[in-house]
Amino acid sequence: MRGLALACHPLPSAAVTVLALLLALGAAPVEVALVVGAVLTGQLAIGWHNDLLDAARDRAAGRADKPLARGDVSARTVRAALGGALVLTVLLSLASGGWLGLGLHVGLVVGSGLAYNAGLKATAWSWMPYAVAFGTLPAFVWASVGRGTAPWWVVVVGALLGVGAHLLNVLPDLEEDLRAGIRGLPHRIGSRASRLLAPLLLVTATLVLAVAPPGPVPAWGWVAVGVAALLAVPAWTARGKVPFLAAIGIALLDVVALVLVG
């Protein structure tokens, strides 16, 4: 069970599920539970699918952090868990958002994650699944809890967060991925350009959140933009782990602002 849990990419899975929970708060408890359940099972499926496809490469690279590569869990067990998660994702998405919810979540959010795993991550279009999935996630939540169509700026902010997350997520494994023949967008533009682009996208998301919603810009909106701009300075200029941590700080700020505005 421990190997199966670690093979699902627990931190990203938990982060996306918590984001969906925060976006759904205020709706009826049953609606919130269905949305969170659908997103959780979808993220589990994406994580298990990723580790299954990468098992041979992880084993050859001696990845001690990968349960399948270490033999802590069998491929058969992960396949069974993946199949069960996909079935639950379809059922819960349909129950929470109807056919529209099924199309948005399974077709676009989960489908994008599976497409990334299946090969898009090694192409110049590696950013696209993140943009589509993160941009669609708020739309799925809005539709499932009876809020109607998500505003355009919510979708744009989600997409910007997704691409920024992609760049930041790949950076620690950039050299290892290159040795394995993976050449996604971050690998093609290089570490330095990725470190510059990720904070820029995240600061842009903060700005959109501040100025795009109807009505005058609230005071907290300008404060958020100012804090994001301040964090961007070390994200672009510092060394070591500071740029990564600063960029993560901007992403967290954007998530909080998105939840407050939503």
Mean pLDDT value across residues 78-93: 97
Q: Count CA within 13 A, CB hemisphere, residue 145.
A: 27
Alpha carbon distance 141, 90 (integer Å)? 15
When mean pLDDT is compared over 3-17, 199-213, 226-240, the highest value belongs to 199-213
**Options 1.10.15.40, 1.10.1740.10, 1.10.357.140, 2.130.10.10; which CATH number does 1-122 get?**
1.10.357.140
Give the pLDDT band (50/70/90) at residue 179.
confident
Q: Are 32 and 24 in contact (CB under 8 A)?
A: yes
Mean pLDDT value across residues 159-171: 90
Higher pLDDT, 256 or 102: 102
The tokens for 222 are 């300008």
CATH architecture of the domain with residue range 151-262: Up-down Bundle (1.20)
Alpha carbon distance 66, 6 (integer Å)? 8
pLDDT of 262 > 70? The answer is no
Mean pLDDT value across residues 227-231: 93
Higher pLDDT, 204 or 240: 204
pLDDT of 244 > 80? The answer is no
Alpha carbon distance 122, 42 (integer Å)? 22
Mean pLDDT value across residues 41-60: 90
Mean pLDDT value across residues 222-235: 92
> Do the domains 1-122 and 151-262 sit in the same CATH topology, yes or no?
no
pLDDT of 57 > 70? The answer is yes
Q: Where are the domains of the chain?
A: 1-122, 151-262
Mean pLDDT value across residues 2-31: 91
Looking at every residue in the chain, the average pLDDT score rounds to: 91
